Every structure is written in C-alpha cells, then in structure tokens.
C-alpha cells in the first residue's frame, strides 16, 4: 500500500499538479493579455485615434488634401503612441507573470530537492 | 448481480488514511510548525535588528551570524516541516480522496464509484453494524451515518423543513438486530441497501457525476429507505422535491467551488479590461444617454443567467452574422427578455461568445430619457443620428433598445417617437448591431405595420420559462434575498411560489410573477420574528394579490364541495336533480380521479327561461369563488357570425371579451348565455377550451382556463321539456329526448356536448316552487328592513299575489323579481321616505293593493 501511495504521490507531484499549475499560468497570461486589450490594440495600432478622421471633401484642392492627410496622419500617430504605451505596459506585466509563473512552476517541480537541501542546510546551521 | 466489495476499493484506503491518527497529527503539526516558523523568524529578525543598532562593524556581524544561526536553523526546519505537512494534506485531499474510477461494466465493483464522504459514512456504518452485530448491513444505519457526518445534508433537510435531529433519533430507534430481521436479504448488504446503491449509480450517471455523491445517495435513500420515506410523506414531500433541493445544493456548491478556484480563467476574466475603448471610436453622446449593460454585469459580480439557452444561442448567431445582424427579441413583458441581453453582455465580457460579440460593449439606449431632456423633435433626431453614427464608428457596440414598438410608426407622445426613418439607414450596416425588445402586442400593432423595418431584423421569440426553470431561477435568487433580508427560504415556500403564481396569476408571465411574490414576501417577513420563509407566508401574499382565499383553499374547498348541494339550495328552489348533477360532477372533477386537462368544470344547463339556470351559476360563483363578481358573463347571441371571433379572443389593438377577463381573473365562473345562438366556428373554440383548458388569444398569448368553471346555458328545445312533463313522462327520460332533438336539429354537435362534464336539464317551476322563490326574494327585503329595525311581515296572500302577477309560462320566474320591485319594494321605499314607517314599526303589505299597513306590536 505504501508503495502504491508513493507511486500516486509521484504522479500527483510530477504530472497532475504541474498540469494544473501550467493551466493556471496560461490563464494568468491570457487574462492579462485581455485585461490590457493587447490583441485589440495591436490590431488597431495604426487606426486613427477614436476613429477621428477628416473628410477630403468634394473636388480637388491640394492644400485641403495636404491638410487632411496631415490631420489624419496625426490622428493615427497619436493613436499609435497612446496604444503603444499600454501595449508596452501590458507586455511588461506579461513578462513579469511569465517569470513569476516559471518560478512557481519550477519551484514546485524541484520542491522535494529544495526541501532536502533546506533541511541539510538548517541542520548545519543548528550544529 | 450486485458486486459491491467496499474493502477492495481505493476509496476505502482513502477513508482509512483520513481516519488514521497520523493524518490527524499532520493537520495539527501543520498549524504548530507554521506558528513556530513565524516565531523563530521574528526572533531572528528582532535579534538582527537589535544587534545592528547596538554596534556595527564587520567583526560583530560575523559574531552575530554564529550567535543566531540556531534561530534561523529552527525557523528553516519549522518551515520545511510545515511545507511537508501541507503537501501531505493537499495530496490526500486532491489525489487520495479522489481516486480514478473504472469503466462501468456489469461486473464492476460498484463500491469503486463512492465519493469520499459517502465512503466515510459507509465505513462508519460497517463498523457500527459489526460492533452491534447487525447483519445484513442496511440502508437505515447508512442514512444515519450519512446525515451525522455531513452537516451540509442537515442544511438540505432543514430547507425541506425536516429536522435532521428528529430523523436521526427515529433512525436510532431501529438500531437492534431484531428490528432488521430481513428475510429478503441474503448477502452482506440488505436488499434495500442494494437498491439504494443501484439507484444512486443511475442518478450519478444521469448527472454525469464521476462519483456517487452524498446527494445522489440521499435521493436514492428517499426512494428506498422506509423511515426517511415516512418523514417525507408526513411533510407532504416527494422524492422529486428531494431531487430538486439536492440540485439546488449542488448548484450552490459548484458556484462556491468555482469561486474558490481563483486561478481559473472564468474568475480572472471578471476584472474586465482597460484600454479597450482606445481601439475603437468615441461614443460620447451614446454614453450620455445609455446604460452600459456590460459594466452593470461586472459590478453585479457576473451571475450567470439561468435558462433561455435557445434564445441566447439564436441571438448570438444573428449578432455575429456577417450581413444584417439586428435582433428583435419578442415576448410577453416579464418573461425575462432582459436576461438574454444580460447573458450576451456576460459572455461578451468573458470572451466566451462568437467572434463578432466577444469584448463588445452592450449599451442600452434610453430613448425616453433623451425625449425628456430635449425640446424639439429635430433636436432628438439630431442626437439620435449622432448616437447611431458613434455606434457605427466605434465598431465595438451592441445597441439595445427596450420597448422598441414605442419608436416605430407611432405618433409623438410622451416617451414615444417614430425613429424608423432615421434607423433604416443604419440597420443594414454590418457595423451596426441592434437588439430591439418588444412585446407581442407591440409587434402586431406597430412593427408589423412597418415591413421595411421588420425585414431588417431577425426575430427571436423569448418563451415563458417553464415552472421547473422558474424554480431554478428562484433558487439562484434565494441566497441573494437571504443575505439581504436575513431570513432563510425553505424549499416548500419556493415550490409554493411557483405553484400558486402559476395557478392564480395569469396576466404576468414567469419568472416575473414568481420573483415579485418571493421578494414581496421576503420584505414582509423581514419585519417579523420568523426565521424561515414558509409556504403559509406565500399563501398570504398570493391571497392578497389575487383576492382568492389561497391559504386554506384545500380545507375550505373540501367543505364547500361536500356541502355544495345544501349551499346552492339556499338560493335555488327545486332543481334538485340539476343541483345534484352539478355538485357531483364538480366533486368528481376536483377530486382529480383522472388526469385533467380541461377547465375546473364544464356544464351545459338546458331548460326553459326563468327556471334558475343563471341563478345557479351565480350561486356557484358566489359559493365557490366567494363573490358573484367572479362570474364573467357573455351573451352568446352577440357572437352569431365568424367576424365576431376577434371580439371574443382579441386581435391587435383590441382586447378579447372572453380572453382578457379570464387572463386577468382565471379563478372565475364563465357563463355563456344562450350558447346555441353562437356561430358554429365560435363553438369550435370552446371545443379546445373544454378539451385542453387553454386557448391562444389574438395576440398570441396562451390563456389558461384550468381554474375556471364554464357554464353554458340554453333554452333550446324547452318545449320538449314542457310537453313531456305535461304527458307525465319520467324526467330522467326527458334529457335523452331533448338531446336527440338537439342533435337532430343540429343545434349542438355531439362532440361539443361530450366535452361538458354534465348536461343538466332544469325543470319548469311549479306554483309551490314559485311561492318558495317569492319567499326567498321577500326574505331579502325583510333582512334589509330588519337592519333598520323595522319588522316586515310576509303574508301568504302577498306571496300568492306576487306569484300570480309575476309568473309567466314563457319567462318562468324571471318576472317575479320585477313584480316584487314594483309592487313591494316601491311602496315600502316611498313609505320610508315619507317617514310613514319609523324605527321599531311592524309593517305588512296588503295583497290586493300593495298598501303599507302598520301593525300593532
């Protein structure tokens, strides 16, 4: 029975729990990706800010065309700058979650080793 | 075959491990070493800080490290033991207590499917049975330990208003080997135990449970365990009620479990998002006049919507279609159309819907608010145009407009405007997604008159939820109301809400009517000392709302039915056979000997005019429904052509003379006077009503007649009655002859006659009957004068004279009332006004000239 339990423990520690931790890690990455709207902002990176567009109007006028192109260009540039700001922030958070998740994941995997090493270290400290 | 070997299962091992003293010690150790870790860490830190403050140089730092190493060492060892203990506990709880289960085969060991809690109760049962030498192991002891070791089940039972203590006490009385003498059982386990396990397996499979959970076992025990069954019977509960309450408890448990798993995407996604608007256009004007349903759903804590699965799926499909994607939600007001909107908003936030819907903002535009704030129509149209442009430009908005019919093809009125012209240009744009909400009346009256607009929508009919779905809806609502009002809601009370509102409130659909009654009752209950919401509380509120004596309907109705003849005869003279036939038919119908679909009772009264047909109907309405006002009277001679059908069942813009009063007051008596004069097609409508108990009105609403008594009267063929009685024919033969005549002359079709519970023939009245009727009528005057302290003497001569003047062979006793008014009431009223009669007088009317005489006392 004890052998059976040991076997079950190994399956649980090195298969079941890492699977669950992996899922949680993925969930955090996905939810923060959505929280900072990274996907939508990337897709609309160069679209005008809040859809603000100037019309070229009827007939051809070089100055009006130039004005409109510049205005619409600025609208796109402003949009891109603000969006990039949030995209970068979201990206930093994602990197942080990725690293933190990795630490948790690998700490769990090496927990038995860490416990043994910790135990030996603490015994050394005591004696 | 019953293969059940508990001791050879993994779950049995799990129970033994969990029960072992080592596991108990681990739990204590975990807490103890956590405390030690904290204490040693704090001591170490304090020492470090104090030594740093006192002196700081390199030498002292090395000294410190050697002096306080033991503190750090103890802290680390405590932490390691704490982590190991935690690991053991989590491992046992998540792995050992939840072993894998084999595939279901006919020879599989059924004990492998037991959940940990059930296995633990079974282990206790086996130990107890062994100790007391009670064999075979039986379901009674099993139930005892199941209840004792699972406090959640006590709460389930208390919701059913059952006391776990009383049940376990009663079960305990049966704990002796003699009481379990069971001839049928041959194995280790009793026959009832075997049946319980087999039933529980079926229940668990139906619910797609991996294990047989405690609720599955409790439900199976409610079917097979006789003592528990007795308790349920006494409380008027059925296993189905246990099933519902367990579903409720499981539902709550799943919700709690889901909430605890904070790392699941569903929980993480509830934060919403930031910067979503930066990817879309401005909606400044829209934000000013709209409510953000997505934000509201987030603030509410994303409570999932119960039911409406088909409607939600249809709406999602339409909204995400590449072309025209506008939805017209149609249903009765109160049917819960807003729940479909809410479900779309929730799915959109979570990103669980289709591509065109995910992460969109669901915004409800409040046009009446806009109309109230702006002065001119031009201004309103300008703003609306701006809003619609913003919606198109934003590209992430699903617009919702409630009461859409108010804004289609209507004249300008408070809260109404015609926006179709403006809207039409936007509706065919794929970027413009609109969810319009309308009632059936609104659809038929307004929207259908504007086919160009209607064609730009796909209709989704939101059906009234079934009583079962409403029950689940109320169960979901219950914890919120319990928290708000600080009272518990019992399951029978919730069932009573669904039952009574379903039966007696017909003009509002589910779930609104049930929700309103439940909330109102909770408000009232919060002011009382009662801790539980009981069915009686619901009875009171429904009785007040409907003016139907709901509370004691059972006992009151039984008394009424048993004494119906006597009660009717207090008002009806003669007609013993007729009254008896009505009473017995009604008793038969209400005793529900057969499954009944039609109305509460359906009767055809045949007989000459003035013999008491209408009076009997009035008496029945007054006795059975509490007032003559509960009688809905229709003169069927007004419905002689096919074109009159809309008047009867309603049409767009017109309420039905039959359907609307019944919809508003289903607990009524419907009197169809002179039914033979109605058009045959109209009579066909009554075939369905008498057969199925319902009809669909002109606005597509289902009108329920199940709580209605229908009485049709006719004097067709009355001459046969008179002729046959003149020839001294037995009255029982008259009915047959009369019906033959009615069928021969095609006055009624046999299928209509067959659908009535009884065809009742009323006899013509004899002189003695008329004298008795006159007496009854004069008694009423006597009572009225008696209240004024005036004694009115009714002489035999007066009665005879009234009958002489009032009787007519063709009109029966109908003229009697008028004669009494003319000849008796008028002179008495005049004498009262002239003050010829005073308080304390004793008066009489002369039979010849109807003059008031004051008698000596």
Which pair of structure tokens corresponds to residue B845? 């009317």
Query: From the CA of B46, how many Å to the nearest CA of chain A?
Result: 18
Interchain proximity B280–A50, CB inside 8 Å: yes
CA A27 to chain B, closest CA, distance in angstroms equals: 5
* Candidates B8, B93, B278, B280, partner chain A, best to mutate (most A CBs within 10 A): B278
> What residues contact A12, with CB distance under 8 A and at least 6 apart?
B91, B94, B95
What is the pLDDT confidence band of residue B444, given thresholds at 50, 70 and 90? confident
What is the residue-wise DSSP string for B656-690? Answer: -TTHHHHHH--SSEEEEETGGGS-HHHHHHHHHHH
Copy the structure tokens of residue B589: 């119908």
**Quick one: how far is CA B739 from the chain centroid?**
43
- Whether pLDDT at B75 is above 70: yes
Is residue B180 within 8 A of residue B174, CB to CB? The reply is yes
Q: What are the residue boundaries of the structural domains of chain A, listed by start? A: 9-126
Determine the pLDDT at residue B58: 55
Q: Does A15 touch chain B (CB under 8 A)?
A: no
**For tokens 């009655």, what's the residue?**
B721
Spatial separation of the C-alpha atoms in residues B636 and B659, rounded to whole Å: 14
Average pLDDT of chain B to the nearest whole number: 88
Residue B79 and residue A118: Cβ atoms within 8 Å? Answer: yes
Residue with the two structure tokens 């009171």: B540
pLDDT in tens, B403-423: 999 999 866 677 778 998 899
Question: Helix or strand or coil: residue B489?
Answer: strand
More confident residue, B48 or B425: B425
Element spanning B826, H or E = helix B826-833
At residue B60, the pLDDT reads 54
Query: pLDDT tens across B689-731, in order?
Result: 999 999 988 877 888 888 889 999 998 888 888 777 677 667 7
Distance (Å, whole) CA B490 – CA B235: 13
Q: Kindly give, in sequence order, each residue whose CB lies less than 8 Å from that of residue B273, ignoring residues fewer than 6 positions away.
A: A34, A35, A36, A37, B359
* Three-state DSSP state, B595: coil
Q: B401 by DSSP, 3-state: which?
A: strand
CA distances, B256 to each of B262, B299, B478, B485 (Å): 11, 19, 15, 21
Residues from chain B that touch A31, judged by Cβ atoms under 8 A, are: 265, 268-269, 271
* pLDDT (0 to 100) of residue B739: 85
% of chain A with per-residue pLDDT over 70 = 98
3-state secondary structure B289-301: HEEEHHHHHHHHC
Three-state SS string over B41-95 comes to: HHHHHHHHHHHHHHCCCHHHHHHHHHHCHHHHHHHHHHHHHHHHHHHHHHHHHHH
User: Does any CB of chain A come closer than 8 Å to the CB of residue B264?
Assistant: yes
Mean pLDDT within B502-529: 92
B502 close contact with A: CB closer than 8 A = no
Of A43, A50, A86, the CB nearest to B281: A50
- pLDDT at residue A32 greater than cutoff 90: yes
For residues B762 and B608, the answer to whether their CB atoms sit within 8 Å is: yes
> What is the band of B67 on the pLDDT scale with cuts at 50, 70, 90?
low
Phi, psi torsion values for A36, nearest 5 degrees: -90, 10
pLDDT in tens, B242-256: 999 999 999 989 989
Contact B279 A83 (CB under 8 A): yes
Instruction: Give the single-character DSSP code of B507.
Output: S
Give the pLDDT score at B55. Answer: 54
Q: Which residues contact B638 (CB under 8 A, 6 or more apart)?
A: B644, B647
Q: Chain A closest CA to B84's CA: distance in Å?
A: 8
Mean pLDDT across the stretch B783-787?
A: 88
pLDDT at B275 over 70: yes
Check: CB of residue B330 under 8 Å from CB of residue B460.
Answer: yes
CA distance B70 to chain A (A): 5
Residue A47 has pLDDT above 70, yes or no: yes
Half-sphere exposure of B296 (CA within 13 A, CB side): 14
3-state secondary structure of A73: helix
Model pLDDT, residue B214: 95
User: Please, what is the Cα angle at B235 between B232 and B241, to 5 degrees?
Assistant: 60
Residue from B552, B558, B544 nearest B505 by CA: B544
Q: Which pLDDT score, from 0 to 100, does residue B392 have?
A: 93
pLDDT at B117: 96
Q: What percent of chain B has pLDDT over 90?
A: 53
Residues in chain A closer than 8 A to B81 (CB atoms): none
């Amino acid at each position: 029975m004890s052998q059976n339990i040991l076997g079950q423990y190994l399956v649980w520690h090195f298969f079941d729990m890492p699977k669950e931790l992996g899922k949680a890690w993925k969930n955090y990455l996905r939810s923060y990706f959505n929280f900072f709207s990274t996907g939508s902002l990337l897709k609309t990176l160069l679209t005008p800010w809040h859809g603000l567009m100037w019309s070229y109007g009827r007939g051809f006028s070089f100055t009006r065309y130039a004005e409109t192109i510049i205005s619409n260009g600025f609208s796109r540039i402003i949009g891109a700058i603000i969006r990039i700001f949030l995209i970068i922030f979201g990206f930093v958070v994602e990197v942080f979650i990725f690293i933190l998740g990795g630490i948790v994941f690998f700490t769990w995997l090496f927990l038995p080793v860490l416990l043994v090493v910790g135990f030996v270290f603490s015994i050394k400290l005591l004696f | 075959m019953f293969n059940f070997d508990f001791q050879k299962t993994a779950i049995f091992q799990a129970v033994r491990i969990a029960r072992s003293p080592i596991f108990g010690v681990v739990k204590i150790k975990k807490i103890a070493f956590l405390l030690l870790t904290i204490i040693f860490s704090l001591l170490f830190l304090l020492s470090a800080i104090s030594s740093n403050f006192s002196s700081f140089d390199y030498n002292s730092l090395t000294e410190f490290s050697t002096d306080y190493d033991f503190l750090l060492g103890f802290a680390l060892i405590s932490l390691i033991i704490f982590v190991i203990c935690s690991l053991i506990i989590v491992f046992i709880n998540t792995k050992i207590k939840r072993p894998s289960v084999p595939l279901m085969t006919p020879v599989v060991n059924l004990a492998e499917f037991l959940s940990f809690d059930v296995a633990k109760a079974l282990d206790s049962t086996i130990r107890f049975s062994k100790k007391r030498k009670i064999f075979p192991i039986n379901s009674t002891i099993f139930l005892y330990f199941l209840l004792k070791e699972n406090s959640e089940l006590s709460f389930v039972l208390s919701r059913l208003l059952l006391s776990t203590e009383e049940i376990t006490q009663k079960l305990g009385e049966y704990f002796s080997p003699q009481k379990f003498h069971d001839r049928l059982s041959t194995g280790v386990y009793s026959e009832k135990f075997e049946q319980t396990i087999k039933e529980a397996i079926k229940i668990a499979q139906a619910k797609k449970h991996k294990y047989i959970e405690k609720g599955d076992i409790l439900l199976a025990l409610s079917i097979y365990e006789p003592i528990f069954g007795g308790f349920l019977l006494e409380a008027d509960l059925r296993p189905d009620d246990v099933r519902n309450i367990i579903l409720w408890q499981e539902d709550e448990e799943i919700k709690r479990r889901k909430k605890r798993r904070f790392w699941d995407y569903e929980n993480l996604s509830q934060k919403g998002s930031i910067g979503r608007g930066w990817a879309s256009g401005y909606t400044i004007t829209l934000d000013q006049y709209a409510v953000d349903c997505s934000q509201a759903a987030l603030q509410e804590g994303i409570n999932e919507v119960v039911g409406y699965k088909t409607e939600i799926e249809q709406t999602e499909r339409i909204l995400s279609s590449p072309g025209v994607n506008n939805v017209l939600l149609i249903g009765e007001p109160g049917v819960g159309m807003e729940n479909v909107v809410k479900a779309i908003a929730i799915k959109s936030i979570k990103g669980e819907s289709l591509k065109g819907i995910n992460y969109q903002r669901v915004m409800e535009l409040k046009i009446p608010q806009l109309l109230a704030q702006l002065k001119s129509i031009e201004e309103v149209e300008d703003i609306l145009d701006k809003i619609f442009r913003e919606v198109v430009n934003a590209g992430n908005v699903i617009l919702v407009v409630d009461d859409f019919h108010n804004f289609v093809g209507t004249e300008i009125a408070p809260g109404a405007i015609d926006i179709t012209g403006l809207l039409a240009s936007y509706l065919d744009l794929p970027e413009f997604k609109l969810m319009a909400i309308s009632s059936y009346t609104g659809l038929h009256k307004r929207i259908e008159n504007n086919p160009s607009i209607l064609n730009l929508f796909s209709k989704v009919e939101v059906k009234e939820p079934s009583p079962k779905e409403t029950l689940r809806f109320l169960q979901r609502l219950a914890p919120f109301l319990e928290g708000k009002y600080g009272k518990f809601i019992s399951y029978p009370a919730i069932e009573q809400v669904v039952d009574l509102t379903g039966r007696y409130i017909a003009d509002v659909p589910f779930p609104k009517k049930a929700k309103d009654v439940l909330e109102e009752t909770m408000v009232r209950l919060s002011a009382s000392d009662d801790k539980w919401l009981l069915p009686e509380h619901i009875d009171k509120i429904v009785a007040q709302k409907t003016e139907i004596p709901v509370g004691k309907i059972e006992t009151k109705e039984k008394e009424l039915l048993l004494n119906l003849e006597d009660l009717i005869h207090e008002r009806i003279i003669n007609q013993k056979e007729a009254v008896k036939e009505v009473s017995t038919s009604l008793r038969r119908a209400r005793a529900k000997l057969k499954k009944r679909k039609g109305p509460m009772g359906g009767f055809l009264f045949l007989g000459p005019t003035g013999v008491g047909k209408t009076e009997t109907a009035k008496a029945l309405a007054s006795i059975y429904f509490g007032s003559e006002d509960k009688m809905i009277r229709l003169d069927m001679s007004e419905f002689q052509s096919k074109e009159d059908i809309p008047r009867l069942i309603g049409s767009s813009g017109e309420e039905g003379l039959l359907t609307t009063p019944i919809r508003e007051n289903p607990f009524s008596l419907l009197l169809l006077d002179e039914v033979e004069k109605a058009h045959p097609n109209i009579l066909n409508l009554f075939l369905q009503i008498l057969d199925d108990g319902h009809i669909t009105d002109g606005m597509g609403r289902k009108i329920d007649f199940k709580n209605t008594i229908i009485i049709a009267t006719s004097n067709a063929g009355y001459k046969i009655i008179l002729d046959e009685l003149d020839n001294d024919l037995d009255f029982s033969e008259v009915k047959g002859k009369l019906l033959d005549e009615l069928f021969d002359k095609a006055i009624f079709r046999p299928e209509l006659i067959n659908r009535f519970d009884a065809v009742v023939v009323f006899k013509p009245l004899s002189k003695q009957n008329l004298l008795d009727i006159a007496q009854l009528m004069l008694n009423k005057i006597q009572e009225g004068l008696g209240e004024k302290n005036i004694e009115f003497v009714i002489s035999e001569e007066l009665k005879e004279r009234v009958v002489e003047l009032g009787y007519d062979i063709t009109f029966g006793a109908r003229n009697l009332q008028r004669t009494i008014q003319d000849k008796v009431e008028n002179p008495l009223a005049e004498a009262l006004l002239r003050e010829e009669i005073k308080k304390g007088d004793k008066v009489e009317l002369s039979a010849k000239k109807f003059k008031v005489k004051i008698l000596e006392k």
